Amino acid sequence: MALTAVVWLALLVLAPVLYAPLAAALYAVGSQICHQRSDRSFHLFAAQLPVCARCLGIYGGAALGLAAAVSSRWRARATRLSSRTLLVSGAIPTAVTLVAEWSGAWGGSNSARAVAGMPLGIVVALVVAQGVATLHYGGCAPRRPIASNRPPTPI
């Protein structure tokens, strides 16, 4: 899962220099998940990336979060907090920048948007990794048979 996140991030960053059909597919997918505003996106070799700076930060954070989830030390720290607490705390920087932009109090920069998106990506990845870790049913205790609700038959 962590490798997939890293590959996705690399494809997004390298899209302007990739083979045209692959790049076109990345931009098409990007258009479905992001507004792709040029002024809110990073550019590589004068070509806009397929997602905005905030989305790129979220995906970068997800790659970091999944890499951290592989580490037992980080996984143990993350499991001390509830998923809700993790998600709310990770969303605060993104929410603050959004409110500041929408209110006109802050014009924002692409770097700040990307950095603010990273905590959200990290915690979402940790929560997803925790959820996926619970899907290994083979290690669960076998189910006990369910008792019948029928009355006993007379002999």
Most confident region among 33-42, 62-71, 132-141 by mean pLDDT: 33-42
pTM of the complete model: 0.81
* Helix-then-strand count for the chain, H and E: 6, 2
Of 3-7, 21-25, 40-44, 129-133, where does mean pLDDT reach its minimum? 129-133
Q: Is the pLDDT of residue 137 over 80?
A: no
Q: What is the mean pLDDT of residues 81-90?
A: 90
DSSP state letter for 108? -
Q: Is the pLDDT of residue 67 over 80?
A: yes
Q: What pLDDT does 139 receive?
A: 58
User: Bridge-partner residues for 150, per DSSP?
Assistant: none
The tokens for 72 are: 């037992």
Q: Is the pLDDT of residue 130 over 90?
A: no
C-beta separation of 51 from 36 below 8 A: yes
- C-alpha–C-alpha distance, residues 107 and 101, integer Å: 6
- C-alpha–C-alpha distance, residues 22 and 144, integer Å: 51
Q: What is the mean pLDDT of residues 73-99?
A: 85
Per-residue pLDDT tens over the stretch 7-17 = 999 999 999 99
Q: What is the mean pLDDT of residues 62-90?
A: 82
Q: What is the mean pLDDT of residues 94-103?
A: 94
Collapsed DSSP state (helix, strand, coil) of residue 32: helix
Collapsed DSSP state (helix, strand, coil) of residue 44: strand
Instruction: List all residues 6 or more positions away from 6 whose beta carbon is below 8 Å from its beta carbon.
Output: 63, 67
Q: What pLDDT does 151 receive?
A: 72
